[in-house]
Structure 1
């Protein structure tokens, strides 16, 4: 073979390699562009750092956010600059649910999590890239919440000037009917007041209902009662003897509130008077493994997901707890921390015969002409307790309100089930708790109330729950 022929062959081979390499690069590039357009398009478009999208959205009339009855809680109005500005007619009432929409400080709440729908950019054509501009909407889609604005207002007023939170939930569906956190803020004036709001010592930006972590105190005793019955540690006829304090080991004493000795009582009576000695002993009898298993059954170690941004609670490492700390967990103290939302879900589980529904805030999404894009269907999340045991604990909770510490939550003519709690904390006065539901024989509403540093759950939180339950059952 001549040198010229060899050179020609070598050149053709090299051209072939370069061609294959170029084709490979082209295929890789096309694959990556396709990935960005199809898989990552929404996350990139609606990323809070994407200023281009945020600026362009000002030219679009953002969709309405309404309560469950169609009352407008967020809308867009045109400005002199031919842009749109967000307005919030209910001011502080919906701030932690709806959130805010600011070009400077970004978005939060429903304004953030449903931004694609509200801005009109989230649609099937969006994945077509630049071609999607041909389908661009002049107005965004509307979001209907599960919240009732009237109930929201009553819950806000029930907290008074106190810091705290109230969550109201439908036990049968998981729909959140009210969710209040105080102190709150006005999302419509946030740009002008950002420094004051963001640096305030009382943390008005914090949604205490889903992100505040608190020791549950005695409201956790309904879970401990069910665990003791489920594990056959106790029965409805078991008898306990409260001497005013529970001695644990050689040098640890779990005191009764006010050092009061309740004497002999059964499990229902112990729950009604919130006997620390009884429930501390039940925690010890259950032991570390069964206590851990009981909390896991109720989903305390599982994230909720969905449209609710929740701070995960904190469970103790039961395997490492000493006897004193284990007993403390049985009365809702120690290192156990929960959100008010989870406590509302706990009450709703007993109300719903042992089935825990997944909570949700958005009822449906519709186009500007009213066409339904998506609608939320109730979804069972967990089944932590058998119906028979759930009913047994529910009857005990009725006794708490009829004859025990929860009497200020009672409603004339309607049977209410509940449990009070007074949670000690190292940063000040105790937190006041109440969880419950009504009517007890056909529950429509479950509620959790926490009022920070305010004292007794029976005297402070139970009356607030009463106001909310009365409004909800009208």
Structure 2
């Protein structure tokens, strides 16, 4: 009998110890969720408890730089519904807010500011809903709604993207991606939008990867001058094609032979033979270093959610592939944002400012809560070399391939590109800035499968320049 009692006591102790262990594990897990994971779970776009709780509170407005409403909350019954006055024009930037499908864009990345739930008590979960503001804060963007609308209309029915930056601050003035969608209809049209083969939800400015084509030649020109492989007066004889041993041939567009030309002339006519030759003179190591100097291997931060550039393995490139890379072809893929940043380096005396989209956070009455200051990101080149490329880009627009981007009375700098595309027709590119002698705007335009940059992308850039400089 005594043995049976001892066995029972042992079993009770084992069960008690097991239950206590499970309780400790449960408490540890709850603490982990409440403390470590709280910020992630609260901010998650599919957190339905947070979505439902804050549906009863008016989210703050999303405004452009001048106070133009891009998103606001409208009372419907006992809750609030999001309204987007600019619809598809700013859809990928502003994003959407849906109980069913979550959030995207600024609505997602600045959700806690927009709900007013950005305080130190946010991790308390449901309890925090009783203690937070009864209205959200406003998010003021660097975007200029008028420039944004102009860029959207300039793209017309084409697929592509336009991004415009203030080169001296990094403030994004316009960020357009097409095809787009109407965030006012996100719940009703989700199936059609989310399954569209043209990917309207994709922000092509930061998430689209393209070969940059001849727009990259401005960077190769800078590298050639920096590494002293050519001076400003030296000429290279350019035939219609460049034969690269053992069996590769790099051809000029339209098989045009330019004869003896210097660097500035070569950029103006966009000679493949000239820049292919410069790339071979530079070699794979200096080419790789150039991409690194201009930040193509580095992230600009999480706010813009930009995908990484796809760079070739330079050490394994043959001469033919190296020459292709030097004219923006081969396996090289970049975002339009990166090309606008490249243009801005020659507009801003060799400095690249970190691109940013949010200017400040204010409360319901407009009182300042937080500001976002401009910050220098990289200095890839010198003021002297930046000035040289600036002048060459002015000539491209004055009497080269980019004349369609010119504006009366304004000195415009630019570079066109026609990027061959293995999946279809060539992409049309234009990068540049204006006024060239006092730059206020740097731009990148990519028009998918549409042909020549000088005839397609440059006129679009001209419209955006005009709107920004009015």
**Same topology, TM > 0.5:** yes
Alignment of 1:3-42 (within 5 A): 36-42=33-39
| Matching of residue 56 in structure 1 with residue 53 in structure 2 | yes
CA deviation map 1:365-405 (0-9, x unaligned): 11112222211100101111111101111111011111110
Determine which of 167, 184, 190 is the counterpart of 2:180.
184
Aligned length: 457
Tell me the CA shift for residue 134 of structure 1.
Answer: 4.4
2:267 aligns with 271
1:457 aligns with 453
Q: 1:228 to 1:191 in 2, by over 3 A?
A: same
1:300 aligns with 296
SS of the aligned residue for 1:140 comes to coil
Q: Is the contact between residue 53 and residue 129 of structure 2 (CA under 8 Å) also seen in structure 1?
A: no
Alignment of 1:226-265 (within 5 A): 226-265=222-261
CA deviation map 1:75-100 (0-9, x unaligned): 111122x1111111111011000111
SS of the aligned residue for 2:334 comes to coil
1:116 aligns with 112
1:73 aligns with 70
Q: 1:63 to 1:248 in 2, by over 3 A?
A: same
Determine which of 145, 148, 153 is the counterpart of 2:141.
145
| Matching of residue 403 in structure 1 with residue 399 in structure 2 | yes
CA deviation map 1:187-213 (0-9, x unaligned): 110111111111112211111111111
Q: Distance in 2 between matches of 1:323 and 1:108?
A: 44
Q: Is the contact between residue 42 and residue 125 of structure 2 (CA under 8 Å) also seen in structure 1?
A: no
| Matching of residue 126 in structure 1 with residue 122 in structure 2 | yes
Q: Distance in 2 between matches of 1:255 and 1:32?
A: 64
Q: Is the contact between residue 46 and residue 101 of structure 2 (CA under 8 Å) also seen in structure 1?
A: no
Q: Distance in 1 between matches of 2:354 and 2:175?
A: 15
1:440 aligns with 436
Q: Distance in 2 between matches of 1:133 and 1:473?
A: 45
1:104 aligns with 100
Q: Is the contact between residue 42 and residue 122 of structure 1 (CA under 8 Å) also seen in structure 2?
A: no
Q: 1:316 to 1:191 in 2, by over 3 A?
A: same
Q: Is the contact between residue 306 and residue 360 of structure 1 (CA under 8 Å) also seen in structure 2?
A: no
1:364 aligns with 360
Q: Distance in 2 between matches of 1:137 and 1:194?
A: 31
| Matching of residue 286 in structure 1 with residue 282 in structure 2 | yes
Q: Distance in 2 between matches of 1:226 and 1:25?
A: 65
Tell me the CA shift for residue 126 of structure 1.
Answer: 2.4
1:4 aligns with none
Tell me the CA shift for residue 41 of structure 1.
Answer: 2.4
Q: Distance in 2 between matches of 1:350 and 1:28?
A: 58
Q: Is the contact between residue 354 and residue 386 of structure 1 (CA under 8 Å) also seen in structure 2?
A: yes
1:340 aligns with 336
Q: Distance in 1 between matches of 2:280 and 2:231?
A: 16
2:3 aligns with none
Q: 1:130 to 1:454 in 2, by over 3 A?
A: closer
Q: Distance in 2 between matches of 1:413 and 1:99?
A: 37
Q: Is the contact between residue 76 and residue 87 of structure 1 (CA under 8 Å) also seen in structure 2?
A: yes
Most deviating of 157-166 and 47-56? 47-56
CA deviation map 1:315-366 (0-9, x unaligned): 0111111111110001001000011111000001110001000001111111
Tell me the CA shift for residue 129 of structure 1.
Answer: 5.5
Q: Distance in 2 between matches of 1:135 and 1:163?
A: 46
Q: 1:28 to 1:367 in 2, by over 3 A?
A: farther
Structure 2: which 5+ residue stretches go unaligned?
A: 1-12
How does the TM-score come out when normalised to structure 2?
A: 0.93
Q: 1:95 to 1:387 in 2, by over 3 A?
A: same
CA deviation map 1:132-152 (0-9, x unaligned): 344222111110111011111
CA deviation map 1:157-188 (0-9, x unaligned): 11111111100000000000001011110011
Alignment of 1:411-426 (within 5 A): 411-426=407-422
Q: 1:457 to 1:191 in 2, by over 3 A?
A: same
Structure 1: which 5+ residue stretches go unaligned?
A: 1-14
Determine which of 74, 85, 103 is the counterpart of 2:81.
85
Tell me the CA shift for residue 112 of structure 1.
Answer: 0.5
Determine which of 303, 307, 317 is the counterpart of 1:311.
307
SS of the aligned residue for 2:121 comes to helix
Tell me the CA shift for residue 49 of structure 1.
Answer: 3.7
